[in-house]
Chains A and B, each alone.
Chain A
């Protein structure tokens, strides 16, 4: 069996997941992973599924878009090739959380991720909101990252701080465990 990855984007409304999953079921596809989110008013969903040998990627994509077409939603399907390898294969890592707060301006994500990428640190989740105004929580980025244990974390932190300072942002780098320890029983 082949694996496919389906991305669905468009204006949010009730029933999107129901439509996509119903068609995949009707086409005898087995859903393995789903993630979805809503950014402002836009739906974004990603599905990984197995398709039977007698179905083509194009067929699945057409079936999905036929169903979604009236709603301005768009589905894209492609083949998932081979067994996926972890982004930091073989490297020992520790999970940290980088948080920034401060005034909005263009290029914030690019600037912070530039530092992150420069150290070979992998972003596993990002939640960012930029609403403007004075409330620092209306303009924040939360990066969950895997930091290889062999990098100089002090230097990494220092460079992040310098970058954040130049952008007028408050930044923190803390081990992920502390958030779970405080908030979860």
Chain B
């Protein structure tokens, strides 16, 4: 028989602490759809998505209802389009983007990712077409997400690609100027991108994966915050070792839920289960914020001195708890600190407690990087590229994944706000220091060589 405390703690997590399964992502290989005829390729892609994902949303809803834990987002991640559509030019890539977007709408998923390229060592024909297509592709679709990996510890930083991405971001913002540059909110630039990611906007299905696989991304910042609050209230002298243990146990519980539901969905669809991505991903709702965890740990705000240490502890504890809960952990796994999607982090950025520089420091110990950061609309492509390069360097030298999702908001200045709506939320536009003059460093281009520790073999 279940004990009342088991029942109560579960109900608290589900009903009062925003425990949910953030996303079930169907990874779908489109390698078999390849054709050098655009119409054939598009038709193959559409058929493949419609056939495999037809029941995805229904099954997710049924499983969510059975366990009383909602699957908030249902998504699809496909093989990197720059690889499977390498023979097409930029205009044709845009048509492929529309095909993916239409198929996503047809099966009712929230996002489809995989408009992606891997260019850490060099830009191939398909990659160039894809990057050139990104601004139009993202500004003329609703559900398509794109990602480009421009650096890795093994290969170094492809500064030519970094420059291209700086220009792509500025152009994507310009083409979606009427919506505060929302196209950029669907574009991630990575270093050390994992072989397979189920989390948007960077999601894609790795080349080493099976034909179809179900991955699940769990969330739960609200659950972690409440667990810390309870621990703080229950003892006179809580120390960080104790709190780390609390976070670890909570991450374990959250991950177990994700794996259970992911496996059920996979069974329901007759598709192999892949991995749990155990990231703490916030929403713009009160009580579902990563930023609030910092306050529960005794900091006045995220961004205050001590924040990097707190985030390092949080991230590590989440990974430890998750690793015990599931043998199949992947993706990004850790804490996300997006400025626009997290109410508390957004407030810290708005009131000056969190600067772009401190955000960059935080990214050295967290999962992703400069995520959903709104910048002044007149920020130059060179400046964007330079920020990308800085973030890539943190990833390359520290052998970790980092990424940027930057949004230069057309027509707006630092201190104003950008509005994206829904899960993407809103964000204060952050100022950038030291941008006067040109950035000749970025223009040098070329490949920043791989660091010495890449020679490990």
Give residues in A with beta carbon < 8 Å to B: 97, 99, 125, 127, 129, 137, 140, 142, 144, 153-154, 170, 172-184
Q: A172-B11, A179-B7 are in contact. List 7 more A-B contacts (CB 8 A).
A: A97-B2, A97-B7, A127-B1, A154-B65, A172-B14, A172-B15, A182-B9
Q: Is residue B422 contacting chain A, with contact meaning CB distance below 8 A?
A: no
Whether B15 lies near A177 (C-beta < 8 A) is no
Closest CB in chain A relative to B61 CB, distance in Å: 11
A17 to chain B, nearest CB (A): 18
User: How long is the Cα–Cα vector from A178 to B65 in the complex, in angstroms?
Assistant: 12
B253 close to A182 (CB less than 8 A): yes
Who on chain A is nearest to B324 by CB? Answer: A185
- Residues from chain A with Cβ under 8 Å of B260 in the complex: 177-178, 181
Q: B253 touching A179 by the CB < 8 A rule? A: no
Report the separation of the CA atoms of residues A182 and B253 in the bound assembly, to the nearest whole angstrom: 5
Bits for B1-36, please: 1 = Cβ < 8 Å to A, else 0: 110101111110111000000000000000000000
Contacts of A142 in B (CB 8 A): 2, 4, 7
Most buried by B among A99, A154, A172, A182: A182
> In the complex, A29 Cα to B8 Cα: how many Å?
40
Q: Is B67 in contact with chain A by the CB < 8 A criterion?
A: yes
| A137 neighbours in B (Cβ, 8 Å) | 8
A100 to chain B, nearest CB (A): 11
Contacts of A179 in B (CB 8 A): 2, 6-7, 10
CB distance from A38 to the nearest CB of B (A): 14
- A73 to chain B minimum Cβ distance, whole angstroms, is 24
Q: Give a binary string over B253-287; 1 marks a CB under 8 Å from any A CB, 0 the rest.
A: 10011001000000000000000000000000000
- Asked if B421 is an interface residue, CB under 8 A from chain A, the answer is no
**Is B68 on the interface with A (CB-CB < 8 A)?**
yes
DSSP majority for the B interface?
helix
CB of B140 to closest CB in A, whole Å: 39
| Chain A residue at minimal CB-CB distance from B1 | A125
Determine if B257 and A181 form an interchain contact, defined as CB atoms under 8 angstroms apart: yes
Q: How far is the CA of A179 from the CA of B67 in the complex (A)?
A: 9
Q: State how many angstroms separate the Cβ of B12 from the closest Cβ of chain A.
A: 10
Q: Which A residues are CB-close (under 8 A) to B4?
A: 127, 129, 140, 142
- Report the minimum CB–CB distance from A150 to chain B (whole Å): 15
Contact B2 A176 (CB under 8 A): yes
Given contacts A172-B15, A172-B68, A173-B68, contact A178 B1 (CB under 8 A): no
Give the docked Cα–Cα distance between A183 and B2 (Å): 10
Given A127-B4, A172-B15, A182:B67 Cβ within 8 A: no
Answer whether residue B69 sits at the interface, using C-beta atoms and an 8 A cutoff.
yes
Contact of B256 among A97, A140, A182 (CB under 8 A): A182
In the bound complex, how far is the Cα of B262 from the Cα of A181, in angstroms?
Answer: 13
Give complex CA distance A16, B66 in Å. Answer: 42
B10 to A183, Cβ gap below 8 A? Answer: yes
Cβ contact within 8 Å between A174 and B253: no
How many residues of chain B get a CB closer than 8 Å to chain A's CBs? 21
Given contacts A137-B8, A142-B7, A175-B67, contact A181 B1 (CB under 8 A): no
Shortest A23–chain B CB gap in Å is 27
Q: Whole-angstrom distance from the CB of B438 to the nearest CB of chain A?
A: 56
Chain A to chain B contacts (Cβ below 8 Å), 7 pairs = A99-B7, A144-B1, A174-B67, A175-B66, A179-B2, A179-B10, A182-B13
The interface bits of chain B over 217-250 (1 if a CB of A lies within 8 angstroms of the residue's CB, else 0) are 0000000000000000000000000000000000
| CB-based contact B257/A178 at 8 Å | yes
Residues of chain B within 8 A of A175, CB atoms compared? 66-68
Do A99 and B11 touch across chains, with their CB atoms under 8 A apart? yes
Task: Known contacts A99-B11, A144-B1, A172-B11; decide if A178 and B6 are in contact (CB<8 Å).
Answer: no
Chain B residues whose CB sits within 8 angstroms of the CB of A174 once the complex forms: 10, 14, 66-69
The answer on a CB contact under 8 Å between A144 and B10 is no
The 6 closest A-B CB pairs, nearest first, are: A174-B68, A183-B6, A178-B67, A125-B1, A182-B253, A181-B256
B219 to chain A, nearest CB (A): 15
Within 8 Å CB of A178, what residues of B?
Answer: 10, 67-69, 257, 260
In the assembled complex, the Cα of A176 lies from the Cα of B1 at a distance in Å of 10
A184 to B15, CA, bound (A): 20
Give bound CA distance, A99 to B4, whole Å. 10
Residues of A contacting B253 with CB < 8 Å?
A: 182-183
Shortest Cβ gap from B330 to chain A (Å): 20
What separation, in Å, do the CA atoms of A160 and B11 have in the docked complex?
17
Contacts of B66 in A (CB 8 A): 153, 174-175
Residues of chain A within 8 A (CB-CB) of B8 are 137
B2: min CB distance to chain A, Å? 5
With beta carbons under 8 angstroms apart, the residue of B9, B14, B15, B67 that contacts A183 is B9
**In the complex, residue of chain B having the shortest beta-carbon distance to the beta carbon of A137:** B8
A174 (CB) vs chain B CBs: closest residue: B68
CA distance A129 to B68 in the complex (A): 23
Task: Give bound CA distance, A174 to B9, whole Å.
Answer: 13
CA gap between A153 and B63 in the complex, in Å: 12
**Beta-carbon nearest neighbor of A101 in chain B:** B11
A144 to B4, CA, bound (A): 11
Shortest beta-carbon distance, A176 to chain B, in Å?
Answer: 7
Q: Which residues of chain A have C-beta atoms less than 8 A from B6's C-beta? A: 179-180, 182-184
CB distance from B227 to the nearest CB of A (A): 12
Instruction: Tell me, in angstroms, the Cα distance from A177 to B267 when the chains sit together.
Output: 16
Which A-chain residue is minimally distant from B7 (CB atoms)?
A142
| A173-B6 Cα distance, complex, nearest whole Å | 15
Q: Write out, one digit per residue, whether chain B residues 64-89 have a CB within 8 A of any chain A CB (1) or not (0).
A: 01111100000000000000000000
With both chains docked as a complex, state the minimum distance between the C-beta of B5 and any C-beta of chain A, in angstroms. Answer: 8
In the assembly, what is the distance between CA of A183 and CA of B4, in Å?
11
Chain A minimum-CB-distance residue to B67: A178
